Structure 1
Amino acid sequence: MAETDPKTVQDFTNVVQTLLQQMQDKFQTMSDQIIGRNIHTRIDDLEKNIADLMTQAGVEENGAMPEKPKESQGSS
């Protein structure tokens, strides 16, 4: 029995190591996919927010334009 125990332990260790490596590989793949999706979603959201801000800035520029000439009038 003493001879079979080390072999059994070694086999068990190998199986566990293989399973852990497979789990780690699957986790890494899933993590990469999630991060990729999150990045794309964040980029899309950022582009939308920038477009919204640009639209708001365009609307606000009309309201802010009197201030710009006012500054110009103050310097003249």
Structure 2
Amino acid sequence: MDGQDSGDTKQSTADMTQFVQTLLQQMQNRFQTMSDSIVQKIDEMGDRINELEQSINDLRTEMGVEGSPSPLSTSKKPDEPKTEEGSA
């Protein structure tokens, strides 16, 4: 009977090893799919940001304020002392 138990144990171990390998392969495939999707969405977002930036620059040029500072940079300057005072 020991021989049969040993054979069953070896088969069980082989089955478990195959199961774990299959599971890990499935997980790897899913993570790769998710990773590819995330990278694609980030690339698309970057393209949209670049298009938005170009549109803003085109509008600024049309308005004749090409040399003016960005509204974002001027709006942050008044907030900076408040942030420093609040953190001190």
Both proteins in one fold, TM over 0.5: yes
Q: CA RMSD in A?
A: 1.9
Correspondences of 1:28-39 after superposition (within 5 Å): 28-39=28-39
Aligned pair count reads 67
Unaligned runs of 5+ in 2: 70-88
**2:67 counterpart residue number:** 65
**1:26 counterpart residue number:** 26
Shift of residue 66 of structure 1? 6.4
When normalised by structure 2's length, the TM-score is 0.64
When normalised by structure 1's length, the TM-score is 0.73
**1:72 counterpart residue number:** none
Unaligned runs of 5+ in 1: 68-76
| Aligned-pair identity (%) | 7
Tell me the SS of whatever aligns to 2:2.
coil
**2:16 counterpart residue number:** 16
**1:6 counterpart residue number:** 6
Moved over 2 A (4+): 57-62, 64-67
Q: How many Å separate the matches in 2 of 1:14 and 1:2?
A: 18
